[in-house]
Every structure is written in structure tokens, then in C-alpha cells.
Amino acid sequence: MHGMHRASAMTEGWAYLAGLAVLLSLAHAAQSYEIKAVTKPVIMSESPYWDDKTNTVIFVDVIGKLVLRYDPSHPDDLKNISFSGQSGRVTPAVPVRGSSEILVGVGRTVHIVDVDWGAPGQAPVIRTVRAMQEVETHLPGNRFNDGKADCRGRLWIGTMDDSQTSRRRRRSVNKGELFRFDLQHNSAQARDMNLDAMPIVKDGLQIPNGMAWTADDKVYYLADSATKAIYRFDFNVDTGVVSNKTTAFSFVDNKVPGAPDGMTLDVEGNLWIACVHGGRVIRVDPRTGKLLQTILMNVTNPSAAEWGGPNRDVLYVTSARYKMDARQLEREPDAGSLFAITGLGTRGLAERPYDVVAFNASGSSRASSISCWTHWGLVMLMILNAIPPKSSSSR
């Protein structure tokens, strides 16, 4: 009996050690990711977009009024185009499918910018810049914030109060809106085409920020930095309308420092959220409201997250150094840089580019179910590409 007890004890001991080894292995795996600053700092990097056709990251410097492009295969060749001559902050930047054009938000106006980024070592050249659509002319203190395109290629951008005084800030409750931009044309001439801004969510938003759609395009998530919450909406892909707003995750209830900024979804349906003023990126299951993982950054203000790389397994994170003093910058020399996080054990969903959608002359298809790769979408794309470039600059 004594021998049996001894054998049993040894078995239990080995089982305990084996279990401990598994736990240690899992803990090591959870911490096996690597965080690396891959660009020099700018003032406020934001709105990253992985461009599949060039294998580069397009992002903006909101305050510096730049659209930048980072090429992982030429990491020292960080390119940028400047909008210093324009009034208003610059965000977001969303490439147009099958084109060298980018939709760029400046202040409250969407611009179509045709840019030749050039070969490595060459300076980019802006061919044309065209202001397309301004919103909220009655709210001069507002500006665009984050934005993305949905699966039909429609552009979505939130607006926020960017007034400088605290007095205006106290009056800015629910001044944010969420807009959807479709392309309409009222003439046979492609030059007469314009964007049609549709207010999608007009009430209950303060600082609409990061957004994402589920893989089945049935759910839309939107962050509000002021309320520190991630909202869930039902999404009708045909009409481009959202409904049934609920709270998917609360920073306050989960005691997460900072506020939600830009975010992205992985293939498992989890959100990866940059926590501005919180110094971290978190992984959240929005279906259960559970916090799954915290990645501590060496900067206070991570601002957005985007999956990239050929396998969509690199998490690119932008950051900001805006209004940081010399002492803070000494502690955080990489603040404002673009970061690459590898080894996370998952990968992301591809973000969508803006697509060219043809609307009829009456404009009655504003809430259209037309897919961007219908016959008319292809025809309009061919017309756009046939227009000879003009020599102009954003400066």
C-alpha cells in the first residue's frame, strides 16, 4: 500500500509539473510577440491602411497635414505628400480600388488625390487634387476623424468637434456624426461626378472614431472616444444603413485606461483597439464584452491599429506625440512612430478600398444595393483612368 501511495504521489507530481509546464508555455506564447517602431516619428500618425496592391501602409499625420506611405521592403524610404497649404486637419486616407488615387479628408472636405509614389528613393508626385464634398458647413468647429470603406466600397467617416477652447468642448456633446459617402454623377461627363454625403448616425455620438465590419458584413462596430465605448450596430449591406445600437464594450466598466481610438478585426471576430492616453492595445471579444489580451506599448498614445503584411499577420499601430512636452518626449522617443507588432498568433481581415459606384442621373440610388464591380462600376473606373492628369499640387 505504501508503494502504491508513493507511485500515486509521483504520478500526481508529474501531472502537476506537466500542467505547470503547459501553463508556462502558454504564458510564454502569449508574450512572444515583438513590438518594433518601423518609422521615424511624426506629430500624430493615424488612420493606417494596408494596401494589398503595393504591399505598403498608407497613413496620415493629422496635425502635420501629411499622407505617408511605409514600404516594409524599403523601411528607410518613408514617403509623404503634404497638404500644408490646405486649411484643416488631414484624416483619413483611403485608396481607390484599381487606381493611383486616394480619398483624403481635409477638414470637413473629401478630396480625390491622384499620386505617383515613385520608385524607392524618388519623391512622390501629386498629379491632381480635387475637392469633392464638404459636410457640416453649419459646424465650423467640426472636422473629419477616422474613416474606412465598407465591403461595397462606400466611404464612412465620422466627424468631431475640434474646437480649441474648453468652453466649446463643454458644448460639444453629441456634435459628432457618422457619414457615408457614395459616388454620384449627374452627367455623362466623368468630370461632373461628385460624392454624395449621407448622414448615417446623427445623434448620440461625440467623437466617433475607429470602425470595423464583421466578416459576414452583418455587424458594424464604432468606437466613441468621448464615451469610452465600442458600439455595435446591425448592418444592412444592401442599403448601407445601420440600426439597433448597443454597447459591445465599455472602457469604464472594464477599467481600461485611456479611450478607444482606431481599431480592427481579426479572423476570429475579435477587435484590436488602440487605447489613446492608455499606452496599450487591447484585444476584445465584442460578442461577449470580455477583455482577452493587453499589449503594453512604450508610448502613451497609440492611435489606431491595422492588420498588414502578405499574410495579414502583422499588426501595424500608429501613435501620436501631439502636445507632449520635452520631458515626455525624452521618456517616449518613439511617440508618433508607426509600430509593427509580430508574433500575435492570429491574422486580420482585409480592409476594403473605396470603389467607384455609378449612380443614375436622378441620384435616386443613394441607398443603392449596387456592387462596386457591376458593369457600371467597371465602366466608370475606365472613364476615370482615361482622364489625362493635370499638373497641380496640394500646397
The tens digit of pLDDT for each residue in 222-272 reads 999 999 999 999 999 999 999 999 999 999 999 999 999 999 999 999 999
Q: Measure CA of the first residue to CA of the last residue in the chain; give whole Å.
A: 89
Check the annotation: does 162 bind a ligand: no
pLDDT for 191 beyond 70: no
DSSP state, residue 376: H
State the CB neighbour count (10 A cutoff) for residue 132: 17
**Residues with a known catalytic role:** 261
Check the annotation: does 145 bind a ligand: yes
Residue where the block lists cell 459646424: 139
Task: Tell me what pLDDT residue 124 has.
Answer: 98
* Residue of 67, 60, 57, 61 whose CA lies nearest to 43: 61
Q: What is the mean pLDDT of residues 360-377?
A: 31
The Cα–Cα gap between 279 and 259 comes to 10
Mean residue pLDDT of the chain comes to: 83
Check the annotation: does 143 bind a ligand: yes
Confidence of residue 393 (pLDDT cuts 50, 70, 90): very low
Task: Tell me what pLDDT residue 173 has.
Answer: 66
Task: Tell me what pLDDT residue 158 has.
Answer: 96
Q: What is the mean pLDDT of residues 3-21?
A: 48
Whether the bond between 48 and the residue before it is cis, its omega within 30 degrees of 0, is: no
Cell numbers for 275, please give them. 487605447
At residue 25, what are phi and psi to the nearest 5 degrees?
-65, -45
DSSP state, residue 191: G
Per-residue pLDDT of 14-36, as tens digits, reads 554 455 444 444 444 456 899 99
Whether the Cβ atoms of residue 340 and residue 302 lie closer than 8 Å to each other: no
Task: Tell me what pLDDT residue 354 has.
Answer: 83
Paired residues of 176 in beta bridges: 205
The Cα–Cα gap between 198 and 91 comes to 18
Cell numbers for 50, please give them. 494596408
The one-letter amino acid code at 312 reads R
Check the annotation: does 261 bind a ligand: yes
Q: What is the pTM of this model?
A: 0.81
Q: What is the mean pLDDT of residues 114-143?
A: 93
Whether the Cβ atoms of residue 75 and residue 56 lie closer than 8 Å to each other: no
Check the annotation: does 55 bind a ligand: no
Task: Tell me what pLDDT residue 307 has.
Answer: 98
